[in-house]
Amino acid sequence: MINLIHIKNDLKQVFRDPVMSILMLAPLLIVVVFKLLIFFLFPFIATKFNFEFSLYYQYLMAGILILISGMLGIVIGFMMLDDKDGNIAELMAVTPLGRSGYLVNRLSFSSILCFIYSIIAIYVLNVIDVPFYTILLLSLLSAIYSIIIGLLIFSGADDKVKGLTFAKGLNMLGIFAFSDLFALNWFSILSLIFPTYWITRIIESPHSVSAFLIGTSIHIIWLSYLIYRYLSKK
């Protein structure tokens, strides 16, 4: 019940503040922009420069999913940093909600949105041919990735500036989704430990059980470590 009230309050906080509303709805705008690019710009580039974008659609889809989850993760990370600055996080820790309850509420909010937006993005862009269960898994992994980003910012940064530095650096994690394009052996091997790589891998092999299992495990390992780090921090 407390959780529900808190989530309701979060929703109110977000939609009363026009800035937060914009940030939360921004991923949908990204989807629309990319749909327009696919319709108008890509055919133009294909005819003008003889470059076929459709060969790289799996990377495009992975990039968009990572962009959406990264964006929501950063927004929620900064929301939590603001809570930290305003001592709201400490205040929540002494309520029946507790430290973990506060974390669950804040992060579930962005991850649920991310899950929904990912499904919308895959269906609206319609550039990859994957079964429904793969769409669900990709959306779930994107949701977990948004939590990972939010937690990395919140637990790694002491203040807003460090948060921005983290956000800047974390954007670079997206590059691992494209590691196969670089044909660098060491870089491809390094990519295996990063969640973003597995988003592309699952899109490329939508029926591969091993890709599903390893990809999900990598996401869960990152998530578990970050939650453990947060809860064990005094």
Partner 1 sequence: MRLINAIWSDIKFQIKQGFYLVYLIITIMYLIILSMLPENVLTIALPLVVFSDPSVLGLFFIGGIILLEKSQGVLMVMVVSPLRTQEYILAKAISLALVSAIAAIAITALSPINNVNWFLLILSTILTAGLFTLSGIMINAGCNNVNQYMVKTIPYMLLFVLPSFSLLGFEYSYLFTVVPSVAALRLLLGAYHGIIWYEALGLTLYLLLMNYIFFRYSVKIFENKIVYQD
With H, G, I as helix, E, B as strand and everything else as coil, classify residue 176: helix
Please, which residue, 51 or 133, has the CB nearer to partner 1?
51
Contacting partner 1 (CB under 8 A), which of 181, 193, 220, 231? 181
Contacting partner 1 (CB under 8 A), which of 9, 52, 54, 85? 85
Q: Tell the smallest beta-carbon distance from residue 154 to partner 1 (Å).
A: 13
* Closest C-alpha among 198, 214, 202, 219 to residue 144: 219
Q: Tell the smallest beta-carbon distance from residue 17 to partner 1 (Å).
A: 8
Between CA 196 and CA 201 the distance in angstroms is 9
Query: Radius of gyration of the chain from Cα atoms?
Result: 18
Contacting partner 1 (CB under 8 A), which of 5, 9, 123, 168? 168
Beta carbons of 171 and 163 less than 8 angstroms apart: no
Mark residues 43-82: x for contact with partner 1 by CB under 8 A, - for none: --------------------------------x--xx-xx
> What are the φ and ψ backbone dihedral angles of 52, each rounded to 5 degrees?
-90, 105
Q: Tell the smallest beta-carbon distance from residue 78 to partner 1 (Å).
A: 5
Q: What is the dihedral of CA 26, 31, 32, 35, to 10 degrees?
A: 160
- Binding site residues, partner 1, CB under 8 A: 19-20, 22-23, 75, 78-79, 81-82, 85, 159-166, 168-169, 172, 175, 181-184, 187
